[in-house]
Every structure is written in C-alpha cells, then in structure tokens.
Amino acid sequence: MPKTAFITGVTGQDGAYLAEFLLKKGYIVHGLKRRSSSLNTDRIDHLYLDPHAKNPNFVLHYGDLTDSTNLIRIIQEIQPDEIYNLAAMSHVKVSFDTPEYTANADGIGTLRILEAIRLLGLSQKTRFYQASTSELYGLVQEVPQTERTPFYPRSPYAAAKLYGYWITVNYREAYNIFASNGILFNHESPIRGETFVTRKITRAVSKIALGMQDTLFLGNLSAKRDWGHAKDFVKAMYLILQHDTPDDFVIATGKTTEVREFVRMAFREAGAEIEFKGQGVEEIGIIASSTGEFAEKLRVGSTVVRIDPRYFRPTEVDLLIGNPQKAKDLLGWEPKYDLAMIVKDMMESDLKLMTKDKYLKDGGFNVHNYFE
Ligand code: NAP
Ligand code: GDD
C-alpha cells in the first residue's frame, strides 16, 4: 500500500517541493489549500490532476489552520500516515502587523492538528512533522546554534512558532505521538515568496539588468543568515519522519552570509561588481564594473541599491548559523547546494521569468518539475 501524506501549506515554497518529492516516492499526497479570490496554486499546477481522474495521487482540500472542525474532518477522511504542518503566516516583518492572526495560525494551528490526531485515535498511526524555525534562536545565545541552544524569539512570528515547537514536544511526551520538529534555517529557491529578501534581490537584480527597474530598496544589509536550498531541506523533513524515533533536528548548512554579500553575488551573476559606500540609511550600492550581456543596462557608476528604513524590523535577528551535525549523523542528511549554487539557480530563473511575455503580461511564472 502506498503511504498517504497530508501537507498543510502545500501552495507555499516548501509545500510544493515536498509534494513533488513525496509523489516521486510513490505517496498519495493530500494538500490543504486556502480559498482565495485569485488563483494561488501556481507552484503546484504541474502536479495537479483533473479531480475527475480515477484514483488521483494528488488531492487538494479547502481549509485553514484557524478552523479546527475542518482540519478534523479532513484528517478523519484521509487517515494520513504522515502529516507535514508547513502552513503558516511565515513573514517575520508582517507578523509585527498581524500578531494575533500569526499566533492563531502558527501557534494554535499546530495544536489544532495535534488535537485532531489525538481525538481521532490516530496517535499510533500518524507521524507529525512541525515546521519549526531558526527564528526561535532570535537574539542568539550561542554560535553556532544546535538543538540544545536556548531560544530567544524576537518577533510575534517567532513567539507563535515557539508555542508550536513546545506543543509538538508536549504531545510527543504526553500522548506518545510520533511528533518531530525540524528547526530549519532559511532556505530559498526560484519559487521563494517574492517578499523574502533573497527573492526580492534576485527579482530586482534581474529587472535592473534588463532595464525594467532602476533601484533595489532594502532594509538591514548587515543581517547574516544561514541560507540553504529548499530542495535539500524538504528531503530533511521526509527523513525526520522516517527516523526510528521522534526527535528534534537542526537543518542548516553551517555557513552564514550577510544580506550585503547576497546582493553582490546576485549582481555578479548578471555581470556587475557592486561597491557599497556610506553608512546607515545613507549606504548605497554602486556599479563598480560590468561586463557581458547586460553591461549596457548595468552602467558603471549608477546607484542600484538604497536603504529604505520601512524594511527595518522593530526587533531584528542579526545572526543565524546552524550546526546540522545531529541530522548528518542520525538521518544521513547532507545538503547538495551551497550559496553560490542557490544564487545561480535563482538568478537564472528570475532572468528567464522577467523576459517572458507571459510574465510581463500577468505576473505568472514558468512551471517546471523541481526535481528534474
Ligand atoms: P510560504 O511559502 O510562505 O508558504 C506558507 C504556506 O502556508 C502557503 O501555502 C500559505 O497559503 C499557507 N498558509 C498560510 N496561512 C495559512 C492558514 N491560516 N491556513 C492554511 N494555510 C495557510 O512558506 P515556506 O517558505 O514554504 O515555509 C513553510 C513553513 O516552514 C512555514 O511554516 C514557515 O514558517 C516554516 N519555515 C520556513 C523557512 C524558510 O526559510 N522558508 C525556515 C524555517 C521555517 P497561501 O499560498 O494561500 O498563502
Ligand atoms: N524581507 C526583507 N526585505 N528582508 C530584508 C530586507 C527587505 O527588503 N532588507 C534586509 N532584510 C533582512 C531582514 O531584516 C532579515 O534580517 C533578513 O534580511 C532575512 O529576511 P527574510 O528573507 O524576510 O527572512 P527571515 O530570516 O526574516 O525569515 C525567513 O526565515 C525564517 C528562518 O530563519 C522566513 O522564511 C521565516 O518563515 C523562517 O522561519
């Protein structure tokens, strides 16, 4: 019998990669999708089958993490072997604007699923994965961060995820549910949400290189993140649920890089070297040299990066760097992508997207098989 997985957040970056990954492993995959007035399934359209097809292996259900009755009904119907709880209001800056909703969806939403597993008598059948985050470390108490590093959340998002983390541990200990946390550090890809900093940068650099935009406005350029590729990270989620015992794992690359350096790397992919000058909100990024296909638009001396304080956060997480040794030792997990490969992957994709007629007309993007 093929295994059945239920993925919340299936329309997001990780949900899309994970769905494709599990389908390739022969799973039947059910996904939770929110109703929206415009289509929100771009990332998974290539996986979707006509609902009238016989025995489809990929099925979408309308629902929301803030609605327990709907979660209970869907989980009862599916009787999943594995649940991956990836749904969340996942933007740290936006969580300062919507703190109560973020707590409801990201914190209590986790509890709702765990309670559904318990109430439906699935405690011994269903394995549960919680999308925990390196944001839990916030004002870091130790460098690098491990599974034993104390948490110090610095945003409503991180505080909500802190609840999600501990309620997962509690249901494991109280009810013997196979419930595990993946403490994932930042992971990116060509289908990363457009307002996270890496994708904002690769999209803007592509547009600047093509003469469609003049300036990229950013917030804190000095923040450091441990950036991996989402493809590597969804494999870790799967491995966490295949382990003999439920446990919590840091998933990271072990290297950290400044936002400023990510900007340099992205422009380099388009053929330009950026020099940063000035301090604080007056800091600017100027094109120091350029060669190749886009040199005409990437004019030497032009200012292409500026600071906009609106992107600063009331409390910032300055430095994240994880130690994934436990995942390497116990799960045999090893990332394939380094940051240079990630930037290349994202820049190649965004340069292509920006030149596509379809993209220019309606903002759609190309659909591909992620693991091919
Ligand atoms: P994402 O692209 O923002 O996707 C989030 C998903 O959650 C989307 O499918 C979204 O639906 C859905 N969602 C949001 N609120 C919901 C609600 N109330 N009910 C049901 N679905 C809801 O995030 P991601 O980057 O794939 O991350 C996946 C998970 O890992 C998130 O929980 C995130 O917090 C966590 N995480 C991410 C990273 C990272 O670097 N990417 C690192 C650590 C942890 P719509 O498409 O309708 O918006
Ligand atoms: N989004 C954004 N936009 N961030 C900026 C900008 C900007 O214009 N300028 C500088 N930054 C800085 C942020 O202040 C932060 O320090 C860093 O870039 C990364 O920001 P994001 O890409 O928004 O990601 P994040 O680290 O806050 O959160 C992501 O990673 C977490 C794991 O550590 C999200 O995916 C979270 O859901 C995830 O838990």
Q: Would you write out the chain's pLDDT as a tens digit for each of its 372 residues?
A: 999 999 999 999 999 999 999 999 999 999 999 999 998 999 999 998 777 888 899 999 999 999 999 999 999 999 999 999 999 999 999 999 999 999 999 999 999 999 999 999 999 999 999 999 999 999 999 999 999 999 999 999 999 999 999 999 999 999 999 999 999 999 999 999 999 999 999 999 999 999 999 999 999 999 999 999 999 999 999 999 999 999 999 999 999 999 999 999 999 999 999 999 999 999 999 999 999 999 999 999 999 999 999 999 999 999 999 999 999 999 999 999 999 999 999 999 999 988 875 455 545 544 456 776
**From CA 123, how far away is CA 125, in angstroms rounded?**
6
Sign of CA dihedral 314, 148, 130, 134: positive
Tell me, what's the pLDDT at 368?
56
Nearest in space to 283 (alpha carbons), one of 314, 312, 255, 257: 312
**From CA 322, how far away is CA 370, in angstroms rounded?**
25
Nearest in space to 247 (alpha carbons), one of 150, 330, 365: 330
Residue 329 Cα to ligand 1 midpoint, Å, equals 28
Catalytic annotation present for 135: yes
Residue 257 Cα to ligand 2 midpoint, Å, equals 13
Q: Facing residues of 258 across strands?
A: 224
Distance of CA 97 to the CA centre of its chain: 20
Nearest in space to 172 (alpha carbons), one of 161, 181, 163, 183: 181
44 with 11: CB under 8 angstroms? yes
Nearest in space to 322 (alpha carbons), one of 150, 144, 101, 200: 144
Catalytic annotation present for 133: yes
Ligand lying closest to the C-alpha of residue 106: 1
Cβ of 90 closer than 6 Å to ligand 2, yes or no, is yes
In ligand 2, the atom with minimum distance to the C-alpha of 155 is: 27
Strand order in the sheet with 28-33: 58-62, 28-33, 4-8, 82-85, 127-133, 179-184, 248-251
3 state DSSP class of 349: helix
Nearest in space to 14 (alpha carbons), one of 131, 153, 111: 131
3 state DSSP class of 61: strand
Residue 11 Cα to ligand 1 midpoint, Å, equals 8
Tell me, what's the pLDDT at 367?
46
**From CA 309, how far away is CA 322, in angstroms rounded?**
28
Q: Facing residues of 189 across strands?
A: none
Tell me, what's the pLDDT at 226?
99
- Helix orientation angle between 259-269 and 339-355, rounded to the nearest 10 degrees: 60
**From CA 83, how far away is CA 335, in angstroms rounded?**
23
Residue nearest ligand 2's atom 3 by CA: 197
Cα Rg of the chain (Å, integer): 21
Q: Facing residues of 32 across strands?
A: 8, 61
In ligand 2, the atom with minimum distance to the C-alpha of 199 is: 22
Residue 197 Cα to ligand 2 midpoint, Å, equals 6
**From CA 191, how far away is CA 349, in angstroms rounded?**
9
Q: Facing residues of 6 across strands?
A: 30, 83
**From CA 29, how far away is CA 2, in angstroms rounded?**
10
pTM for the full predicted model: 0.97
131 with 14: CB under 8 angstroms? yes
Ligand lying closest to the C-alpha of residue 283: 2
Cβ of 218 closer than 6 Å to ligand 2, yes or no, is yes
Q: Give, as one character, the DSSP assignment of residue 186.
A: P
Strand runs labelled E in the chain: 4-8, 28-33, 58-62, 82-85, 127-133, 179-184, 187-188, 216-218, 224-225, 228-229, 248-251, 257-258, 272-277, 284-290, 303-307
Q: Which of 40, 75, 86, 95 to mutate to test the pocket of ligand 1 (most atoms within 8 A of CB)?
A: 86
